[in-house]
Structures are given as C-alpha cells and as structure tokens.
Chains A and B, each alone.
Chain A
Amino acid sequence: RKEVEQDPGPFNVPEGATVAFNCTYSNSASQSFFWYRQDCRKEPKLLMSVYSSGNEDGRFTAQLNRASQYISLLIRDSKLSDSATYLCVVNSYSGAGSYQLTFGKGTKLSVIP
C-alpha cells in the first residue's frame, strides 16, 4: 500500500522558534512532492513543491532525500500566522498515463505568543 507517514504532532512552539516536520513515503517510484498547509475547517493550500536539490521560500525550507524516501519542512522564525496543519503530499504514477496524490494525515502546528 502506498503511504505517506508524518510526525503525528501536535507541535506547540513559541513565536520565533524553528520547527521541523518530517515525512516518509513508501512508494519509491514517486515523482513529485509537496507541502500543503490547511487551516482549521478550510481547504488545503499549496505551500511549496519539494525539489531534489532542496528549495527555500522565505522562512520555509524543504528537503528531499530520495534514497531514504524522506521529506522535511523547516520553518524558521515562527509566526502566530503559521499555526495550521501541514500536509505532506506525494505524487505517484498510478497507470494509464495518470498520476495520483497521496496525502499524509498532517502535523498540527500551534505557535504560541
């Protein structure tokens, strides 16, 4: 079974802290990787794609280790507005020319004043 596993959380951190989320995936043929953010009772929103060389977007850094089938998201200088659930998402070939996303259950982050 193709699965995406994440730290269960919740993570409660003070403002300004650095927090790291980890994710592992079971399908070694997975093609692309994403982090989504989901606020309470809202739809998920794409935070960033994850590239093999690692990539950064402001305070957010994503890393991918294909050999270990491991993805990470680092948030520096946490803000109150970063409080949300972070979903690790993996895109894998599912046959007949189509790809499917597999979602982790998410890790809840609460940034405390």
Chain B
Amino acid sequence: DGGITQSPKYLFRKEGQNVTLSCEQNLNHDAMYWYRQDPGQGLRLIYYSQIVNDFQKGDIAEGYSVSREKKESFPLTVTSAQKNPTAFYLCATKLGPQPNYGYTFGSGTRLTVV
C-alpha cells in the first residue's frame, strides 16, 4: 500500500533526552512536512523539505532538527532544547506540485515527557 508511515505511535521522553521520530513515505512525493498539534490548537509547521538535501524552518522550529538524505525519509529530532515537547506530531506529504494540491498525513506520533 502507498502511504506515509510514522513510528513509533507513542514515545516517552525523559527530561534532557533527544528523541527521533521517523517518517517514511512510498508515494514518491517530493515535499514533506512536520507539524505539531496541541489540544484545542491548529497544526503548526515545524520544518518542511521541498527536495532531497534541502529543508526549511517552519513557524516553530526552535528545539527541533531534521534531515532529508533520501526522498522517502524525513526524520524529526526533538532535542532537549525544546522545553515543551509533549504533543501530537504529524508528518505529511504534498499530493502534487501545484498549490491546489492538498496534503496527506501519516498516523502521527504522540510524544510525552515523563
């Protein structure tokens, strides 16, 4: 099946730890995105990548890092510098190159600081 796979589904992080969230896609889409969703809030853009080996900061990039070494993969690292990391993290790809194409999302990773 074509789609976006995020893992793990649930992740617990201790204070001061870095953790990496995986996002893999087999849709052959160029553009990939990471969003964060907090309860009762809209999705906020963390990082995005239009093409391999290139990525840009979104609205809330502080405390996060990404890489895009392969078209299929766009992992997100939540560093210890992110002071409030507990949230629902969603990876997405763009369905096509034009602005009128929507995005499709993976099933998300719930990160909790313990």
* Complex: A30 Cα to B104 Cα, angstroms: 20
Q: Nearest Cβ in chain A — how far from B27, in angstroms?
A: 14
Among candidates A31, A46, A97, residue contacting B103 with C-beta atoms closer than 8 Å: A46
Number of interface residues of A (CB under 8 A): 27
Write out the residue numbers on chain B whose beta carbons fall within 8 Å of the beta carbon of A72.
Answer: none
A87-B42, A105-B41, A105-B42 in contact; A44/B105 too (CB < 8 A)?
yes
Q: How far is the CB of B106 from chain A (nearest CB, A)?
A: 6
Chain A-chain B contacts (Cβ-Cβ < 8 Å), number: 55
Partner-A contacts on B (CB < 8 A) = 35, 40-45, 48, 50, 56, 58, 88, 90, 95, 99-108, 110
Tell me the bound Cα distance from A4 to B45 in angstroms.
14
Q: Within the complex, what minimum Cβ distance (angstroms) separates A15 from chain B?
A: 26
B104: chain A residues within 8 A (beta carbon):
46
Assess the A4–B105 pair: CB atoms within 8 A: no
Partner of B100, one of A41, A49, A89: A49
In the complex, are the beta carbons of A49 and B102 less than 8 A apart?
yes
Measured between alpha carbons, how far is A4 from B100 in the docked complex, in Å? 17
**In the assembled complex, which residues on chain B have CB atoms less than 8 Å from the CB atom of A45?**
105
Q: Any chain B CB within 8 A of the CB of A80?
A: no
User: Are B45 and A98 interface neighbours, CB within 8 A?
Assistant: no
What are 23 pairs between A and B in contact, CB < 8 Å? A4-B42, A31-B99, A32-B101, A36-B102, A41-B110, A42-B107, A42-B108, A43-B90, A43-B105, A43-B108, A44-B43, A46-B95, A46-B102, A46-B104, A49-B100, A89-B102, A97-B50, A99-B99, A101-B43, A103-B42, A103-B43, A104-B42, A105-B41
